[in-house]
Structure 1
Amino acid sequence: METKAKIEIISRKAINPFSPTSPQCRNLKFSLLDQIVPPRYTSIILFYTANTNQNIDSSSTAHSEISNSLQKSLSKTLVHFYPFAGRLKDNTCIECSDEGAYFIEARINCQLSEFIKEPDPNFLSHLLPTSDPKGAELVGRVVLLIQLTVFKCGGTAVSVCASHKIADASSMCEFIKSWAAMARDHDEVVHPEFIGASMMRPTTDPSIEGRLEAPGESFVTKRFVFDVSKLANLKAKIGSGVPQLVPTNVELVSAIFLRCAIAACQSTTGCLKPSLLYQTVNLRTRMVPPVPEAAIGNLIWGFPVVVEEASKMEVGDIVVKMRKGLIDFCNEKANRFKGEDGYSFVFESFKVGESLKMGMNMYFCSSWCKFPFYEVDFGWGKPTWITCPMYSMNAITLMDTKRGERIEAWVTLEKQEMAMFETNEELLAFASINPSLIT
């Protein structure tokens, strides 16, 4: 995409709930898991191709109707998701004050096809409402920020940033699905359940909040796309060597990432340092009984995968560690995230995790695979492309592509390590670097 592309802000406004929040719901307390999450935003961008039956441009009445529809349906959705219209109050709660979500309307002077021909990770951030100077001023206070960006061809991008204090990937999915259903006048609106604090009481210890370690100038983010068909042979090979183990695609991609990241670090530093990958787990389906899918908040946890020896760096070995770690977590820990036992468990695990950072290379994997974001239809069709531009040090974020035949990975590493990582032949046997989205 040409770097000359510029974004022009057309309007900024607060979108309030269609009806006021009841007085007894005016404060939503965080759970302990919400408190641990660093003060950042969960972000996603949904791209929509223009209706080819209409000859329209970014100034057309059609796009005014799209914007109005999004705003009206958002207002109605916020009645149910009322904390999303509130304001963050330190690390204890959200004041459900109905002050509203922040909505930006913008246009960009390029075609959507230009933009997705070779997506630019750095420019993608400019489509987020948190990149707008006035939007940036609200970061840390406003729970929900949204930006509608219209391309010259009539295509659109809907960017959603919600405070991670209340929105993990599952929460984001439930909110966006409900918003889209409301825009289409359908009856599929989710009735969210804000039950986190009742499951696990918050703490008054201010040190429990995770540190926000945003990548500095020495880090770079790049997009890699893994071909599922190329993973099939590796999956079969590992499965034949380890009885009853059929790796998932997410396990394989995560293991390849960790192996290649460790190799890149070893090449640049000259030594093999013990490494740890935190693999994120959605607790909703792991607890007994399962927590409702509509439970909003942070119901996620990471289990560690540790690699200390060069002999244990093969992808198959890492996958075995991952599967064992997941099974152990589900059997022994997943159901402990409740009540006083859960409180003690989380508090101690957080302290242990903080101490591990001192002696190991830390990597983080978050998977958005299997969430039905590609089904999100606001009334003008399903998305052409979806991406979740997360910029965290030593991290990989995974998402299915539209047809499910590939897995898109956004990787952030130190520049020198990325230079080694992206030339790793083992990686390139399964993945392409920033391929075009135009077929």
Structure 2
Amino acid sequence: MELISQEFIKPISPTPNHLIKSFEYSICDQFALSDHIPILLYYPALSDDNQQESKAINSSRLKRLKKSLSEILAHYYPLAGRLRSNNSTCVDCNDEGVPFLEAFLHNQLLEDILNNPHENYKTAKSFVPPASFESFSSSFLLLVQVTSFECGGTVVGVAPNHKILDMPSVITFLTDWATLARQDDDPNSNFMLPQLVPLAKFFPPRDNVPSVSIIAEASLTKEPCRINIYVFNPSSIANLKIKATSENITTPSRVDAVTSIVWKCLTAYSNRPSVLTYTVNLRKRVTPPMHAHHIGNFIGFAEASKQGSEKDMADMVVSLRKGLSELENKYVKRLNGNQDEAIESIQEMLRDLISLIAAGIKNDVDLYHFTSWCGFPFYDVDFGWGKPILFSSIPSKLKNVMTLIDTKDGGVKVYICLSEEDMKMLEKNTELLTYATLEASFPI
């Protein structure tokens, strides 16, 4: 991998004075960790052109990305700013810009990467700013790297900071950026960017927000851990949905089906109680519903539980849906009240989550956390040269954390991080291997 250039892309126009230094965190942003979320979008060559023509295509793509990024940053102005100190409650919207790296991968075709999933995940770190961002300050709100191949293929690596963006906000930004980039192909386009609405307008920051330090503590382990990546194809998911169906839940989703089978297999060799927490986008659950351009972190944490003796997939799906219903009744309904009541509801939800994590640290329960990125239209992010042929990420190194993402054919890919001992048990589970294929496995 050769790093060709590094520069800062600044907004095409300065942030207006009335907005400078005024992008406050919401109370949910305060609780969020300032980690970068790596998003990798793989784009094929447009044709079987020779190397010289491929270089021209890659150069054109870079020019388009830089121009449109500068334009979109004038609208998403906080992303061109910097995080302040840990005790701050707002982003410094100083227009200093987004790090933009250009790289070139020699002696390897994009096709080689795609046809070797294990090698792909080993290489994935090099498609985002180096050393897993260690050479970059966590104060950056967005990192971008574009990696070109001799064949003309391209990987666009984007790493937004979780401190002010959840996944719904991330895909909204990427969709807007791509739409703006495509305007170069249509001079008559009158695409207008909707106004951003900071969630702090509804849920402003508070002084007594629960500490996130316990989350960091929970993620630290001296145990050797391993990441496995399993793929469920559409046919297997259809069969799992049949097994997950019951009188109570007649139409389980594919996320219900995949989550329940993985949770079942994770707990197959334990008689201890197990608790599963999972993230929920709250924008459509409040009244009136919020739109995609309500920017920030606005996710809830639902909780499902099972006793060691419970093994039936359908029962586990019922538990998942019960957790969602309890989230609605206990917390979400109160978000529709006055601001003080809404903020108290969020604080209570965060305190309850921390208590649950503490129980997991003490080994009182087998605690797992699932997050699903399924349904977000990453495969529709078209900057003007077509849609990606692959969307992926760099799996989380947090123990007992699972992430579900879409495959291009409608299947589901699951990133799982477990202790080496627990992973050995999971790998022996014949029921899991009946429905899923192990795509890659590597220690961390």
Q: Same fold (TM over 0.5)?
A: yes
* Distance change in 2, residues 1:130/1:84 (3 Å): farther
Contact 2:57 2:152 survives alignment (8 Å): no
Distance 1:429 1:192, change over 3 A: farther
Partner of 2:3: 9
Amino acid at match of 1:103: F
Residue in structure 2 matched with residue 19 of structure 1 by the alignment: 13
Name the CA shift for 1:415/1:39 in 2 (closer, same or farther; >3 Å).
Answer: same
Task: Kindly indicate whether residue 74 of structure 2 is the aligned counterpart of residue 79 of structure 1.
Answer: yes
Whether contact under 8 Å (1:81, 1:192) holds in the other structure is no
Change (3 A) 1:156 1:58: farther
In the TM superposition, residue 129 of structure 1 has moved relative to its aligned partner by 1.5
| Structure 2 counterpart of 1:355 | 355
- 1:361: Cα distance to partner? 2.5
Q: 1:88 aligns with which of 78, 83, 86?
A: 83
C-alpha distance after superposition, 1:166-203 (max 9, x if no partner): 11111111111111111111544542423211211212
Q: Give me the whole-angstrom Cα distance separating, in 2, the residues matched to 1:214 and 1:97.
A: 34
Of residues 369, 389, 399, the one that matches 2:405 is 399
Task: Determine if the alignment matches structure 1 residue 249 to structure 2 residue 288.
Answer: no
Aligned equivalent of 2:168: 170
Question: Which amino acid is 2:105 matched to?
Answer: I
The structure 2 residue matched to 1:364, chosen from 364, 369, 388, is 369
The answer to whether 1:106 aligns with 2:103 is yes
Match of 1:269 in 2: none
The answer to whether the aligner puts 1:420 opposite 2:420 as a matched pair is no
- Give the superposition deviation at 1:145: 0.2
CA distance in 2, matches of 1:192, 1:253: 36
Distance 1:192 1:263, change over 3 A: farther
- What percent identity do the matched residue pairs reach? 34
For 1:26-425, list aligned pairs within 5 A.
26-27=20-21, 28-56=23-51, 60-91=55-86, 92-109=89-106, 110-120=108-118, 121-129=121-129, 131=131, 135-185=133-183, 186-188=189-191, 190-205=193-208, 207-209=210-212, 211-212=215-216, 213=219, 218-239=224-245, 241-263=246-268, 266=270, 272-307=271-306, 309-337=307-335, 339-357=339-357, 358=359, 359-391=364-396, 392-404=398-410, 406-425=411-430
CA contact (8 A) 2:300 2:327 kept: no
In the alignment, the residues of structure 1 paired with residue 355 and residue 152 of structure 2 have an alpha-carbon distance, to the nearest angstrom, of 51
| Contact 1:33/1:299 (8 A) holds in 2 | yes
Partner Cα separation in structure 2 for residue 361 and residue 221 of structure 1: 18
Change (3 A) 1:311 1:217: closer
Structure 1 residue 304 displacement after superposition? 0.6
Instruction: Give the unaligned 5+ runs of structure 1.
Output: 1-6, 267-271
Report how far residue 253 of structure 1 moved.
0.7
Q: CA deviation at 1:273?
A: 2.9
Distance 1:215 1:84, change over 3 A: farther
Aligned-residue RMSD, C-alpha: 2.1
- Between the aligned partners of 1:285 and 1:129, the Cα distance in structure 2 is 34
After TM superposition, the score normalised by the length of structure 1 is: 0.89
In 2, Cα distance between the equivalents of 1:282 and 1:207?
A: 20
- The 1:108/1:215 distance shift into structure 2, 3 A limit, reads farther
Structure 1 residue 70: deviation in Å? Answer: 0.5
Q: Which residue of 1 aligns with 2:186?
A: none
Aligned residue identity for 1:394 = N
Aligned in 2, Cα 1:306/1:90: closer, same or farther, shift over 3 Å? farther
- Alpha-carbon deviation of 1:29? 0.7
Contact 2:395 2:415 in 1 (8 A): yes
